[in-house]
Every structure is written in structure tokens, then in C-alpha cells.
Structure 1
Amino acid sequence: MFNKYPHFLSSEIKNTPAEEALFHVIPVPFEKSVSYGGGTKRGPSEILKASSQLEVWDGQSQPCEKGIHTYSPVNVKTPESMIEETKEHVLAVLNQKHIPVLLGGEHTVSVGAFEALSQWDEPVGIVQIDAHADLRDQYEGSPLSHACVMKRAYDLKLPFYQVGVRALSPEEVTLRQEAKLSFIDGRECWEQSITKIILPSEFPKKVYLTLDIDGLDPSLFSETGTPVPGGLGWYQTLSIIESVASQRKLIGFDLVELAPAKGQYAQSYAASELVYKIMGIIERHI
């Protein structure tokens, strides 16, 4: 019987028992607040299906040897219940000293991870790769909009560093200035050919990566709600993530906002490869 949510790398490996797996893949097919193009609820299932076409050798190592366990999708009836269930999932994985890997869904799914980080017993900072700052307090009447994700992280007092942003509201510009937030925006990434970032000395030793697929250029990923020109390149993105892993310990990540077009497969495949490449970076820096 066809499985809408096969486990990651299903054609190559078995679904590793949770207690034996380093990587814990958590699909969260949530889509409630998208404000332009839709389809993010299909992101997790299409990434998992596309992962069956990946090679286990990622170009440098075989991260799957550390074990990958894929869960059934999170309940997505309401934003509040989704966030609560995601939080409990992520917190349980962190407490087991494993790596949570969230597959969205719209960016709001990351709020569940952020709440888990805020309740964990060790300080964690967030590196955000994104076209948008996501620092609005509310958007279209909701504080749980995809456009408010990093404001929720700010409210939780989680430090973060923004990479690749190129679309901001006046409200977000003001907050950045007043709060002295850390960032390197898309134009500067291009002008300076940025391939690595240097995190502030006071940034926590453990880091969670939140990766909105629109942080990369639309020439790579146009299947997203708001594809903003001027984004990061493929190897540039991987190099930046590598630079983070070389400075700090990456303890989890998410990939969100892929909105797969029906009948198209290239970008779902690329997203699944990006997930596996990040697993490889983490595995090589343990």
C-alpha cells in the first residue's frame, strides 16, 4: 500500500528504532496562515517521498549510518495544538541527546521547536536562513502567523542570528535597531560573497537552525509561498551552515515553507537532499 509519509531514505535504509537513531525526523504538515502562494502542507510528504531517490553517500560521508527515525506526522488541527505537540516531540528528542529534524509545513511549525528550546535545560541560540525577518508581532490578526515566527523567538528570549533576509516591514526594521539584533542580509551576502558567518562571542554554544526554503534564491526554489529574488545559492547555503557547525554544536534543525507544485519533483528532491546534506554536516562535527 502506498504510504503518503514513508520514512526518510525509505528505499535505502530501514526506519531506525527511535532509541538507536541520531536523527529524528518529525513531519509537521501545517498550513493555516500562508498569505500568498499555498501548498506547504504537502511539503513534508513530498520531501519524504523524494528522499527515496537520494544516495546514502552525501559526497563526504554516510550520515544515515548514525540512524534516522521518521515519526508519523504531527496533529495539525489548530495552531495551538500543533505547537504543543511539536514542542513535546522536540523536547523529548533533545532530552534523549538526539537531533530533531522538523519538516514543515509553514514556518509557524518552528514555534513549537522554539518553545521546546526555551524549556530545555541548556542555552540555545537560533540561526535563521530566510528571505523574511518574520519579526512582526501579529500578521493578519494572528500572533501565530508564519510572519511572526522570530518575534515569538524574541519573546521567548532566545538569541538569534538572521541570514539572507531581503524583505522587511518598517516594524521589523525598528525592532532590529532597537533590540540590536544580529543579522547579515541578502544584499550583503551577495556583495561580500558570504560563505561563512561569525557568530557573536556571547552566542550560546548550542545552536538550532531554522531554514525557510525561500532563504535560497528562487532559481533554486520557486515552489514557496513568497519567492523573493536575490537569495542564497546552493553551495553558499551549505558553506554557511558548515561555518555554524564549526563554531557551535548544531542540536537540531527544521526546513519549512516548501510548497510543492503538483506533478513537479525537482524542488522536492532538492529539499530532501538539502535535509540530508545538513544531517551530514552535523554528523561530521559531532
Structure 2
Amino acid sequence: MTHVSQFLGEEADLGPEKRITILSAPLASSVSWLGGTERGPQAIIDASPALEVFDDELLLETVRLGIGTRPVPDFSALSTAEACRQIEQSVAGELAKGMFPVLLGGEHTVTVPAVQACLAQYPDLHVVQIDAHLDLRQEYEGNENSHACVMRRLDDLGIPFTQIGIRSFSKEEYELVRSRGLQPFFMSRIHAEQDWIEQVCREIKGPVYLTCDVDGLDPAIMPGTGTPEPDGLTWRQTIDLLRGIASNHRIVGMDFVEFSPHPGAEHAAFTVAKLIYRTLGYIFR
């Protein structure tokens, strides 16, 4: 397959000036079970030209806002710490230019440096996490910077967060949630409480950094991930949530992580690309 150099391909040039930057962070140093997240950013970019740039819900061409794409870097020779420093610098650089950063992972670890870059500009930042997992472990397999620890590292920074779509966690994580009085939006809660999106929006204080681990979505629509968990968010639940957040709060940066392309499930890359494009439409409409 020929690699596409920019998100949406040739149609990305419909925008007169760039306001949005697609950044890639193909880090895969601590992946669990099925690998391949280092190939995720390029697969999403490669699938994106198949999108109709006229959004079928919003009835406008979001691409005309101006979407630029930075080259996918090679992290294969870098340590996790070096890669994270590079990610933080890249996101900070886009923010300094007044750009809206969209980071494509890679594993979920990439969220920490991206959030640190946003925190420097938005000290009252609130992180919204879509995920099947709590990611609140102190360490995983001896690694405190594992993808399974990303929200624990953000918690160490004192950043408030809201967790949505959760349906898999360790006893240690559950005990932390209970002891701290945290109230994640477990899938059981989402099924039981019709006003869950309104509750999410009420909980958010301050500008939002959105981190979407694609395994938060149900594997029926998102098979392309290393740790698929049944009973996830549907497409409709996910976009209703993102519309609600974008309508009520200012989203200042976002990432889409843990996408892993698998043969026979090529549609999943298109689904992530459409989710990114739709979310940008909600943010900027």
C-alpha cells in the first residue's frame, strides 16, 4: 500500500490556512497482548482519504478549517523517555503557533507528554479519557511508564480527569478508585443511567484534553486494538458524548491511541479517521 503523507490526502489542501495539526507518535514500548500500535498513525492517515470531507451529520466541510499533517517520526531507536520528550516538544510547538494538536498513537503512554505540554498553557486542564481500562496502576510489569499506568501518572501531576467506557481493571485499581472516591463512568453505569453524558459534562471544570483509547469502543466496530474488551461504547454513544463535551466545554487538544491495524479489519482505521474528523467538526463548528 502506498503511504499517504497527509490526513485526508489531496483534499487536505482545501483549507486556505492550517489551524489544526495532525501529529504522530508511533511509540510501542509497553504494548500488551496484540502488538502493532507503532503502525497505527500511518494506517489512520492512509485510510483517511476514503472519507467524504462533507460531513454527513454536520453538513459542512470541516477540512476547510485547514488541517496540516506532520511527517510520522521514527521512534525505533529512541528510549521511551526520549520519545516522550520529543512528543512534548512537538505538541508545545504547535500550541505556541496557535494550532490545535491532534496526536495519533502509538500506545497510551504518549498521552502524558502531550498533556504536560497542554498543562503549561492551560493550568486548569481537565482530562477526559475514553477507554476500556482504568490505566491507574502504579506500575505494570515493573514499568511505571507503561500504557497501563498513564492515568496514574496524570494523577501524580494533580490533573483532574473523567474516565468513560471502563470495563476492565485490576483489584489494586478498583481499591484506589474506592479509596479516593473516584466515580468512573463504567459501562454498567452508562447502561443504567440515561443522563450519563450530561453527568460527564457537569463534572468537567476547565478546558479539556481528550484522550481516546480506541479500545473504549466496542470491538464489533473497533477490532483494531491490542486489548479488545467486549461491551464497549457504540459509535452513536461515542459521537453523542463527544458532541456533548464539545458543545459545553473548550477542547484544547486530543489524542487517539492504541490503534493497531490487523489484516481483515481494515475498516477500523477508517472508523478512527472518521471519529477524528467528526470530533474536529464538533469542536470548530
TM range (shorter): over 0.9
Q: Distance in 1 between matches of 2:131 and 2:112?
A: 15
Which of 66-75 and 229-238 deviates more? 66-75
Write the letter of the residue equivalent to 1:48.
I
Q: Distance in 1 between matches of 2:265 and 2:234?
A: 21
Q: Distance in 2 between matches of 1:215 and 1:250?
A: 19
* 1:70 matched to 2:62: no
Residue in structure 2 matched with residue 233 of structure 1 by the alignment: 234
TM-score normalised to the size of structure 1? 0.92
Write the letter of the residue equivalent to 1:62.
E
Q: Deviations over 1:142-199 (max 9, x none)?
A: 1111100101110111110000100011111122122233421111112335662434
Q: Is the 8 A contact 2:129 2:211 kept in 1?
A: yes
* 1:31 matched to 2:28: yes
Which consecutive segments of 4 or more residues in structure 1 shift more than 6 A? none
Q: Distance in 2 between matches of 1:42 and 1:193?
A: 37
Write the letter of the residue equivalent to 2:37.
T
Residue in structure 2 matched with residue 132 of structure 1 by the alignment: 133
How many Å apart are 1:64 and its aligned residue?
Answer: 0.9
Superposition CA RMSD, Å: 2.0
Q: Distance in 2 between matches of 1:257 and 1:156?
A: 22
Q: Is the 8 A contact 2:132 2:216 kept in 1?
A: yes
Q: Distance in 2 between matches of 1:195 and 1:234?
A: 16
State the percentage of identical aligned residues.
37
The equivalences for 1:247-266 within 5 A come to: 247-262=248-263, 264-266=265-267
SS in 2 for 1:219: coil
Q: Distance in 2 between matches of 1:233 and 1:202?
A: 22
TM-score normalised to the size of structure 2? 0.92
Higher helix share: 2
The equivalences for 1:208-219 within 5 A come to: 208-219=209-220
Unaligned residue ranges in structure 2 (runs of 5+): none
Q: Deviations over 1:197-246 (max 9, x none)?
A: 43475743210100000100011111211111110000110001111112
- With over 3 angstroms needed to count, the CA separation of the structure-2 counterparts of 1:93 and 1:54, relative to structure 1, is same
User: How many residues are aligned here?
Assistant: 281
Q: Distance in 2 between matches of 1:51 and 1:32?
A: 26
Q: Distance in 1 between matches of 2:10 and 2:121?
A: 35
Q: Is the 8 A contact 2:41 2:104 kept in 1?
A: yes
Residue in structure 2 matched with residue 274 of structure 1 by the alignment: 275
* 1:12 matched to 2:11: yes
How many Å apart are 1:134 and its aligned residue?
Answer: 0.3
Q: Distance in 2 between matches of 1:41 and 1:16?
A: 29
